[in-house]
Amino acid sequence: MTQNLSYVRAAMIDQQDPPLTQKGAVRWVRENLLSGWLNILLTVLSIAAIWYVTSHLLHWFLNAVWNAGSLTECREVLSVLHQVGDNSGACWGVIRDRWTQLLFGSYPPAFYWRSILAMILLVVALMPVLFRDKVSGKLYYFSAFYPFLMPWLLWGGSFWVPLLAVAGFGVGYVALRLLTPVGGAVLGVVGAIVAALVWWIVAMTPINDALHRAVANMRIEGARDALIATQDGLAPRIAQIEADRDAVTAQVAVAVAAKNAIYAPLATEQFRRSVGPVLDEVAALFDGLGATSTQADLAAAYVGAHRLLLDFAPARAPEGMGPLLEQIKTTVRVRVTEDNLADAQEAVAEIGALVAQARGLTAANAMSDADLATGQAAFLGAMRELTALRETQTRIGAELFRMTEERRGATTLLRNIDQRAANIAAHPGLLAAAEEARAALPESVALLTSADDLPEGLAPADVAQLRDALRAEAALASNEGATFSIYYEVGRVGLQPVPSASFGGFQLSLIIGVAGIAMSLPLGILLALGRQSNLLIINKVSVGFIEIIRGVPLIVWLLTAQFLLNYFLPPGTEFDLVLRVIIMVTLFASAYIAEVVRGGLAALPRGQYEAADALGLDYWKSMQLIVLPQALKISIPGIVNTFIGLFKDTTLVLFIGLFDPLGLSNTIRATTEWNGIYWELFIFIGVLFFIFCFSMGRYSLFLERKLQRENR
């Protein structure tokens, strides 16, 4: 028996779309933005915040001027483009003009390739550390060599200098090999360290000098002719390029004049157009006044007029307009600031007459919209042309600068070579005189090496004798310096040296940051091991060092590098300021790295240490083979974060007179062209730092996640 049950469904209903509020964008908005009263409030607040920021900044960002050679020109372009209303805008012309300086400081443009190559090689050297599973392990050798390669690339000098530095490790290794069979592991290690230090501190300098001297002696005959040839070759080229420079300078002058000719009527028009409505507003303020107006109404009218007219400078006003406007401004100002309000009638009459007169002037000599548009286009074209010309000018200037520097180097060297024989002949006499004079000094001044800041109470005769001795020593020093500079210049086989003073901009920040972290790694690891050690003294020394360094701000350490480091070093040693900063930053960073590594060591399961002990490994073996590889791997994100912090902190070197990007921004503002520019430079610097630090931070985050995955 079959029954047809009508209430049983025969076919499934098709799946229906979810209601409108439960799908797509609407659902997303409901769930993510409007899910409760608190959420709604937050959404509204966020939108208000975004609106507030963009409404204030967007206009400024959109009105960007790229073609301008100075702040004044930027303002001209903006005022031409925006005849009425808000004509503020970003002047990125300064970045266009100075971006290489912000990146490289005053590093010679001819050697930018060295700096860029150093950066590329840095990335290559970091590959095995950062992407260990993707690249060959052989790269580790390159990574190990890189710390010696980078200074050479950046600072220049003979190619054997980095090799000599590396040779220190070779010497240490040889010592280890020779001493271990004789005196066991401990003696071997100590001997290796001592041998390497002796090599670096005692042996390396004379060897380096001897190499320079040997090469120089071989080359000196040819060098003189080559220098003369260089000089002769440079002279016509410099003359040519000077002619080019003068030609471009003339062209620029013509272009500026052309631009100014186009600008003048446009500026007047801009003034006319923008002042007209404002004058109407001012008139309206006073029109509303009457017999019934109170003092307060009157004051409000004056204040309103004052505010409206504040921004109008008479400089670009049409003829006859300037004095009139000035008169209105003065009248209003006097009334407002001196609380001397007239009565309503008088005020209306006073201001009304002036405004009407001014309005009459603005109505005359108007420019049609079509003319205005043509004028604007012509002006922008002129600016483009001018900017292009200026770029040529800069390029020629750079070339000229390079050539004159080259000629200067050649001239100096030639002079020194010519005086070489005389200098060498004079040397023994000077040496004897200097030593004699120093030895003969009375006790009260015997230790002094400077007559600049003498202690009180010295006998004048002693001071005179000291001055004589110093003079003799200086004569000796400059004699030796002249001879040595020949060896150094002629005997150099390698890259042209670049003095530290030329380093600046982001390059400097990167060098200090990278060198600081790279050199602090070994020290930091030792400190971390020391802090974990159960040898009391080692432990306390490590803890003390770490806490002292971390307890004092970096700026104090930098000031220490500037003021005090020379006090702590053996008398007579002087370091380059950049080198001093790098040393200080290295010490600073090592304390932080030590804490990061300590974290890594602590995170390692206890069993790893015990397993190493159970295998019978001694302390160094267990550290080297079992503990450190794992602990360092865990520490990499922390090390990257330390690097980011350090990199940001390199901006502090500004306070000791180095040209980091912020220091350069002050220098750029000190030129006539860019004096008064503010935000554009800061924004550019900030954005560059952000891009760099943010991507590093993302990388360290990625690494952390990867480590978490691997450890699961």
Chain residues 60-79 in contact with other proteins, contact rule CB under 8 A? 71-72, 75
Q: According to CB under 8 A, which one of 117, 149, 341, 451 is a site residue for other proteins? A: 451
Which range of residues in 131-139, 206-214, 259-267, 606-614 is near other proteins by CB under 8 A? 206-214
Q: According to CB under 8 A, which one of 225, 670, 708, 710 is a site residue for other proteins? A: 670
Describe the crossing of helices 577-603 and 628-649 by its angle, rounded to 10 degrees.
Answer: 140
Q: According to CB under 8 A, which one of 388, 493, 552, 602 is a site residue for other proteins? A: 552
Phi, psi (rounded to 5 degrees) for 65: -115, 120
Which range of residues in 8-16, 256-264, 479-487, 620-628 is near other proteins by CB under 8 A? 479-487
Alpha carbon distance 554, 585 (integer Å): 8
Q: According to CB under 8 A, which one of 22, 35, 294, 295 is a site residue for other proteins? A: 35
Q: Please say which residue, 57 or 363, places its beta carbon nearer to other proteins.
A: 57
Nearest in space to 379 (alpha carbons), one of 255, 247, 273, 274: 255
| By CB under 8 A, residue 55 contacts other proteins | no
| By CB under 8 A, residue 585 contacts other proteins | no
Which range of residues in 132-140, 570-578, 607-615, 704-712 is near other proteins by CB under 8 A? 570-578
CB of 460 to other proteins, least distance (A): 13
Q: According to CB under 8 A, which one of 67, 416, 507, 590 is a site residue for other proteins? A: 416
CB of 526 to other proteins, least distance (A): 12
| By CB under 8 A, residue 21 contacts other proteins | no
**76 contacts 261 by C-beta, under 8 angstroms:** no
Distance of CA 553 to the CA centre of its chain: 20
Which range of residues in 265-273, 605-613, 623-631, 681-689 is near other proteins by CB under 8 A? 681-689
**581 contacts 508 by C-beta, under 8 angstroms:** no
Alpha carbon distance 573, 570 (integer Å): 6
CB of 132 to other proteins, least distance (A): 26
**Looking only at residues 365 through 394 of this chain, which bind other proteins when binding is defined by CB under 8 A?**
394
Residues 6 or more apart whose CB falls under 8 angstroms from that of 169 comprise 196
Phi, psi (rounded to 5 degrees) for 158: -75, 150
**Looking only at residues 105 through 164 of this chain, which bind other proteins when binding is defined by CB under 8 A?**
105-106, 109, 151-152, 154-158, 161
| By CB under 8 A, residue 252 contacts other proteins | no
Which range of residues in 242-250, 268-276, 627-635, 678-686 is near other proteins by CB under 8 A? 678-686
**Looking only at residues 530 through 549 of this chain, which bind other proteins when binding is defined by CB under 8 A?**
535-538, 541, 547-548
Alpha carbon distance 279, 613 (integer Å): 91
In angstroms, what is the C-alpha Rg of the chain?
A: 37
CB of 265 to other proteins, least distance (A): 20
Distances, alpha carbon 437 to alpha carbons 346, 426, 450, 467, in Å: 90, 16, 14, 10
Q: How many residues of this chain bind other proteins (CB under 8 A)?
A: 160
| By CB under 8 A, residue 668 contacts other proteins | yes
| By CB under 8 A, residue 594 contacts other proteins | no
Place of tokens 């050679």: 69
Alpha carbon distance 126, 501 (integer Å): 28
Phi, psi (rounded to 5 degrees) for 494: 160, -140
Alpha-helical runs (H) found in 290-419: 295-309, 321-337, 344-363, 369-418
| By CB under 8 A, residue 475 contacts other proteins | yes
CB of 177 to other proteins, least distance (A): 19
The residue type at 87 = N
Which range of residues in 1-9, 205-213, 252-260, 264-272 is near other proteins by CB under 8 A? 205-213
Residue/partner pairs of 671-680 with CB below 8 Å, 24 or more apart: 672/70, 673/69, 673/70, 673/71, 673/97, 674/70, 674/71, 674/94, 674/97, 674/98, 675/71, 676/71, 677/71, 677/91, 677/94, 679/90, 680/90, 680/91, 680/92, 680/94, 680/95
Which range of residues in 5-13, 135-143, 201-209, 226-234 is near other proteins by CB under 8 A? 201-209
**Looking only at residues 289 through 308 of this chain, which bind other proteins when binding is defined by CB under 8 A?**
299-300, 303, 306-307
Which range of residues in 60-68, 252-260, 357-365, 567-575 is near other proteins by CB under 8 A? 567-575
| By CB under 8 A, residue 194 contacts other proteins | no
Distance of CA 270 to the CA centre of its chain: 39
CB of 51 to other proteins, least distance (A): 12
**80 contacts 262 by C-beta, under 8 angstroms:** no
Alpha carbon distance 436, 472 (integer Å): 9
Q: According to CB under 8 A, which one of 27, 43, 127, 281 is a site residue for other proteins? A: 43
Distance of CA 659 to the CA centre of its chain: 7
CB of 404 to other proteins, least distance (A): 4
Q: According to CB under 8 A, which one of 118, 386, 644, 703 is a site residue for other proteins? A: 644
